[in-house]
Structure 1
Amino acid sequence: MEGSIEARVSHEVDLWLRWLPKWQPGTHRARMRLCRTCFGSPVIAAAGLTTDVPHAVQHSMSMRMKLIIDAAVDDYTDRNLPLLQRELEEAERRDRARHYQPSEGLDPEAAGLELDPEPEDGQPFLFTLGGLAASSAPDAAGAGREAEASAPELSDEPRPLSDEEKQAIRAEVRLADEFAQQVGRRVCAELVKHRERITAGIATFVEPQVVALLADLGRELDSPMWPSS
C-alpha cells in the first residue's frame, strides 16, 4: 500500500502539472458558496496551495487526491467489508435506474463543482443540469415500476435490514471511515514531498496570469471612461 500511495500521488501530481498550463482565470461570475472539498482541506495545506491560489487550481489538486483515497477505500471495502459493499452496490444500482446524473464522468478539474451558474434576477435559465436531473426521476421511477412487474428481484425499494445487519453495517462504515482517514494522512505526507515542484508550477503558470489580471483591472479602474462619484 505504501508504495502504491507514493506512486499514485506522484502520478496525479504529474497530471496536475500537465493540466496547469491550460488553466486560465474565469471570466464568468462564480458562485459565492464555499467549496466543502477545498475549504480547510489538509490536502490543500499539504500541497502548499492555501494562500493566493485560485480555487480552480486548488480544486483540481484536491479532487485528484480524492481519487486516490476513494480508490483505496473502494478496494478495502470490496475485500474486507462485504455487507457495506453489498449495500453500496444496491444503492448505486437504484440511483442509476432513477436519475440522470450529469456529475458523473467529469474530469477532476470539474468534479465536485456546481454544475449550473449562479442565477441572476430577471434572467431565468431555459433549463439547468440540476433541473434535468430532478425532472428525470419520475420518468425513471415509472420505468422502474414496469421493470418490477417482469423482474421482481430488481425492485427499486431497498430490502429491509434486521437490527443485527444494521449494527454490522454501522461497524463496517466506521472501519471504512477510519481507513479513509489513514489513507488521507498518508496521501498528505506524500504530497508534501512534491510541494517544491507544485510551487514552481504555480509561479510559472498561475501567478503571471493573476498579476496580468490585476493589472488589467487596475487600468480599467483608472480609465477616464470609468464613472466617478
Structure 2
Amino acid sequence: MQGSIEARVSHEVDRWLAWLPRWRPGTHRARVRLCTRCFGSPILAAAGLDVDVPHPVQHAFSMRMKGVIDLAVDDYTARNLPMLHREIRLAEERKARRPYRAGEGLEPEFLGLDVDPEPVPDQPFLFTLSGLEADAAAEAAEPAPRPFTPQEKEALREEVRLADEFAKQLGRRICVELAQHRYRIGNAVERLVEPQIEDLLADLDRELDSPGWSSGGTTS
C-alpha cells in the first residue's frame, strides 16, 4: 500500500475492524508461553488493547502494525543500506528454495503464532509442522557463504543499527497516530469481544453450578 504512515495505519486499523466480527473465543488450552510480540507492546498500549483483551485479538492487531513497520523499513533499507539489503535479499532467496515452510502464506491474524500446539507431558507428537520444516531446511542446506572481513562486519553492524533506529522512530510515530483511533478500537472491542467473553464466563458458571459437576467431583 502506498501513502503516508498515517494513511497506512488507518488502513490497517480498518482491516482489523473488518476482521474482528469473525473472531470467536477459543475453547482449547490456554497458552503457557508469553507472546513476545504482544507482551508489553507499546503499540497495543497506544491502541488501548493492552489490558483485558484476549491474546488473539491483540495479536491480530499487533501483526498488522508490524506489517506497516516492516514495509517502511524494507523500503528504507533498499534505498539507504546496500549491504543489509543484499544480505536480506540473499536470505529470502535461500528461504524461498526450501521445499516446505509451515508459516508461509498465512493471514496477518495468524502470523507469528506457534504452528504446533504446546506439548503435553508424556504425550509426544507423532510429528510436528515445525519439525517437518526443520527437516526440509536441513535437506536443502547450502554451502556457507564467504565470511565477512572485519571491515564488512563493522559496516553491516552500522547498517543494522540504522535500520533498528528507523524502526523505533516509526514505532513511536505509529503509537502517536493510534491515539486518533482509540475510540473506534475500544468501541469495537466493547461491542464484539466483551459480550462473547461474558457469554463464555456465564457458560462456565452454569457448568460449575450444575448438579452433575458437584456429584462428579465427590468421592466415596
- How high is the TM-score relative to the length of structure 1? 0.89
The runs of at least 4 consecutive aligned structure 1 residues that moved more than 4 Å come to none
Q: Distance in 2 between matches of 1:209 and 1:193?
A: 26
Distance apart, 1:139 and its partner CA:
2.2
Distance apart, 1:121 and its partner CA:
3.5
Amino acid at match of 1:184: G
| Helix, strand or coil at the partner of 2:132 | helix
Residue 110 in 1 paired to residue 110 in 2?
Answer: yes
| Helix, strand or coil at the partner of 1:70 | helix
Q: Distance in 2 between matches of 1:102 and 1:47?
A: 30
Distance apart, 1:192 and its partner CA:
1.3
Distance apart, 1:96 and its partner CA:
3.1
Q: Distance in 2 between matches of 1:121 and 1:32?
A: 13
Residue 68 in 1 paired to residue 55 in 2?
Answer: no
Amino acid at match of 1:157: A
Give identity over the alignment, percent.
Answer: 64
Counterpart in the other structure of 1:216: 203
Counterpart in the other structure of 1:50: 50
Q: Distance in 2 between matches of 1:23 and 1:185?
A: 28
Q: Distance in 2 between matches of 1:184 and 1:52?
A: 23
Structure 2 residues not aligned, in runs of 5+: none
Residue 92 in 1 paired to residue 92 in 2?
Answer: yes
Distance apart, 1:100 and its partner CA:
2.6
| Helix, strand or coil at the partner of 1:51 | coil
Distance apart, 1:92 and its partner CA:
2.1
Counterpart in the other structure of 1:201: 188
Structure 1 residues not aligned, in runs of 5+: 145-155
| Helix, strand or coil at the partner of 2:140 | helix
- How many corresponding residue pairs? 214
Residue 170 in 1 paired to residue 157 in 2?
Answer: yes
